[in-house]
Structure 1
Amino acid sequence: MAYRMQRLSLTPLFRGFMRFGVPALAALGVVGFLMNNAASREMITTQVNTLRKAFEERPEFMVKAMAIDGASEKVAADIRVILPIEFPLTSFDLDLEEMRRQIGELDPVATASLRVREGGILQIDVTERVPAVVWRGPEGVFLLDETGHRVRSLLARAERPDLPLITGAGAELAVEEARRLMAVAQPLENRLRGLVRVGSRRWDLVFDRNQRVMLPAEDPVSAMRRVLALNNAQDLMERDVTVIDMRLPGRPTLRLAQEASEGLQRIRALGNE
């Protein structure tokens, strides 16, 4: 038996088993014993949590403050409200992607990026939406950007007299087309009061002196250019005209003011006498 054991100990497989297998089996036995004991499991879990917490709370991983760049004072205040973070805390407790999603849900925010920069600062970079028009809708008055996305609400249209006004059913869904029309109507910009969306399909341009240009649903930009050409040739917008109907591109229709219409009727009556 001694001879056989001596010969067996010389084989590589047996020596490998004695060197690695026996310690591994012993370790598994100890782990199994400890895991079957509730007190031992609790002790191990506590020790692991303590080590993990000590690692996560190392100074290089701690966040001590928040910095917000690119946002107005009001938007920055809103961000601090929706992210009520109590500093200091470890960066492992920050879900940057979820925080970015929450900031992106604010109406004035176009894009937002978050990172933890050197010095333990939570850096938030914000790009705000740029107001393009004032929209008077069923829920109130709002600023919209060039895509029609809400920026913020207004107490009254007079808060932003520098921006054009749009209203009517579906106006907020056609901001891009409205902006093209306003660009074409730029020569009459000082007289333009706003754009009205009619039937969610076409635009009316409303000017001072109670004048209105009714545009077709198809290719309204070209129709508006024709109105400007008529105005340049015949001072159309300076005459006693209340409505310029361009819904039938081949047959523009004019509606005179009441006094002008009555005067025209009197002239016709005199001509028939």
Structure 2
Amino acid sequence: MGLLPFTEEQLQRIFLWLIIAAALVAAWFIASISGATALVQAQISQSAANAGFEVRHVRVSGVERMNEDRVYERVVSQRNEPMPDVDVITIREELLELPWVKDARVSRQLPGTLAIDIVERVPHAVLQRPDHLVLVDVEGNELEPINRTDIGDRLVISGPGAVRQVKQLDNLLEAAPAISPQVRAAEWVGNRRWNLTFKSNQVLALPQGEDEAATALVSFARLDGQNRLIGGEVTTFDMRAPPRIYMRIPGRADRVLGGNDDGETTPDG
């Protein structure tokens, strides 16, 4: 004879729950007819609790970055609550209000566990507010304040309206993967274009327009590959009037590169 998939104690619990469930369904049907549903609901909850079907444990999974206590704070009121009274939909909605929570699944695990599975947002950059710094994800959702000493290699974004442009900036940097790791900060200027600051503290002023900015950045990456511009003497690369690029060197006149008819960049003059 093969081994049973359940222990005798587990089978007894299952049969007990099935009997209770059948009785409760019948009671609910009778109550619906007689108009006493509220009373029967209370009796159902009490019967379930007496049988051991109440919240005794809360299991949280998926939390890596956020403070797990924020999750428990949202469900602490459910401790010792009869399982039929646990409103998993409302609990999920409350969890989704937490800045770090991208998605959540709340389920009952009989007899007495409330299981919560969290999908966290992923920190992507640091938004510079006038008076503080805050972590944001790639969609611009603000996660939590951060100290300047904890920025690390994260990209710092600034400028009015910049938080609404985080995804667009990510797409822009993906157009030039060879130099995007060199970008330390990005400033959204005049609600229309980006200034990129490299780790070398050099600034690249890009034109407005998503396509125009991406084209300019790719062109700059090609020039950097040929001439090693990043890390050189130039402090500012101005590409706001493509295909020309103005290069500013302290103490010298601006050098200008212009585009030829084939779209290639060549020295002027």
If the length of structure 2 is used for normalisation, what is the TM-score?
0.71
Deviation of 1:83 after TM superposition, in Å, equals 2.4
| CA root-mean-square deviation | 2.8
- Does 2:118 align with 1:126? yes
1:90 to 54, 79, 82: 82
Deviates more, 1:133-142 or 1:222-231: 133-142
Deviation of 1:201 after TM superposition, in Å, equals 1.3
Give the counterpart letter for 1:181 in structure 2.
Answer: L
Which residue does the alignment assign to 2:161?
170
Name structure 1 gaps, 5 residues minimum.
1-43, 263-273
- Cα distance in 2 for partners of 1:210, 1:76 equals 38
Query: Matches of residues 207-222 of structure 1 in structure 2 within 5 Å?
Result: 207-218=198-209, 219=211, 220-222=213-215
Give the counterpart letter for 2:88 in structure 1.
Answer: L
Deviation of 1:56 after TM superposition, in Å, equals 4.0
Which residue does the alignment assign to 1:187?
178
- Does 2:191 align with 1:200? yes
Query: Matches of residues 238-253 of structure 1 in structure 2 within 5 Å?
Result: 238-253=231-246
Deviation of 1:74 after TM superposition, in Å, equals 4.6
- Cα distance in 1 for partners of 2:62, 2:76 equals 20
Which residue does the alignment assign to 2:230?
237
If the length of structure 1 is used for normalisation, what is the TM-score?
0.70
Give the counterpart letter for 2:94 in structure 1.
Answer: Q
Pair 1:139–1:80, CA change in 2 (3 A): farther
Deviation of 1:187 after TM superposition, in Å, equals 3.1
Pair 1:202–1:76, CA change in 2 (3 A): same
Give the counterpart letter for 2:75 in structure 1.
Answer: L
Partner SS state of residue 236, structure 1: coil
Q: How many residues align?
A: 217
Which residue does the alignment assign to 2:219?
226
Deviation of 1:139 after TM superposition, in Å, equals 4.9
Give the counterpart letter for 1:200 in structure 2.
Answer: N
Pair 1:226–1:80, CA change in 2 (3 A): same
Deviations 1:80-108 (CA, angstroms, capped at 9, x unpaired): 12322253220132221111111101001
Give the counterpart letter for 1:142 in structure 2.
Answer: V
Pair 1:111–1:226, CA change in 2 (3 A): same
Deviation of 1:138 after TM superposition, in Å, equals 3.0
Which residue does the alignment assign to 2:97?
105
Which residue does the alignment assign to 1:143?
135
Partner SS state of residue 250, structure 1: coil
Deviation of 1:51 after TM superposition, in Å, equals 4.3
| 1:75/1:108 contact within 8 Å kept | no
Pair 1:245–1:66, CA change in 2 (3 A): same
| 2:66/2:100 contact within 8 Å kept | no
1:155 to 147, 162, 165: 147
Partner SS state of residue 146, structure 1: coil
Query: Matches of residues 36-75 of structure 1 in structure 2 within 5 Å?
Result: 51-52=43-44, 54-59=46-51, 61-72=53-64, 74-75=66-67
| 1:141/1:153 contact within 8 Å kept | yes
- Cα distance in 1 for partners of 2:142, 2:77 equals 27
| 1:168/1:198 contact within 8 Å kept | yes
Pair 1:66–1:210, CA change in 2 (3 A): closer
Partner SS state of residue 77, structure 2: coil
Pair 1:55–1:227, CA change in 2 (3 A): same
